[in-house]
Copies of this chain bind each other. A is one copy, B any other.
Amino acid sequence: MTDAEARERAAAMLAEAGIALTPAERERIEVADFGLGRLEETGLQLVVYVNTERVCAKELVLFPGQTCPEHRHPPFAGTPGKEETFRCRRGTVHLHVDGQDEVVLHPGEQCTIPPDTLHWFRAGSDGAIISEFSTQSRDELDVFTDPRITR
């Protein structure tokens, strides 16, 4: 799947969920394969709504069975690192947070991940849409467990 195809598929999933995007937002849906080159297994599609010094909000789109690999958001610039709340909007999300049992999120269910805490997640067989509410996002600072990953 090319990035353009992934972008189109994510846009279709968002539209089907009734989540309105501007044309400009649809154009700039971010496709992340984490440098592994097997997007459908390990990857993520994102729409960043806002990302200021204080607040960030995104929609995350996962295709069926797609995994966002284990990572953490380390402290930076005097902050404890990014704090995230994942709210499942569509599909199911299997979320793994370091030191906790797997959590399965269905639409309307959510989980807050403390800063600097390892986590990874995978969509169920229908894919998933997740709203992420967080402090500032600095993706380039993320620390992934798999050393082959680049962001």
A contact residues vs B (CB 8 Å cutoff) = 17-22, 25, 49-50, 52, 54-57, 83, 85, 87-89, 107-110, 112, 131, 133-135
Neighbouring B residues of A133 by C-beta, 8 Å: 49-50, 55-57, 133
Number of copies: 2
Neighbouring B residues of A89 by C-beta, 8 Å: 19-20
Neighbouring B residues of A22 by C-beta, 8 Å: 108-109
Cβ-closest chain B residue relative to A109: B22
What is the distance, in angstroms, from A105's C-beta to the closest C-beta of chain B? 11
A83 and B54 in contact (CB under 8 A), knowing A18-B17, A108-B21?
yes
A83 and B18 in contact (CB under 8 A), knowing A25-B108, A57-B57, A133-B133?
no
Contact B20 A112 (CB under 8 A): no
Neighbouring B residues of A57 by C-beta, 8 Å: 57, 85, 87, 131, 133
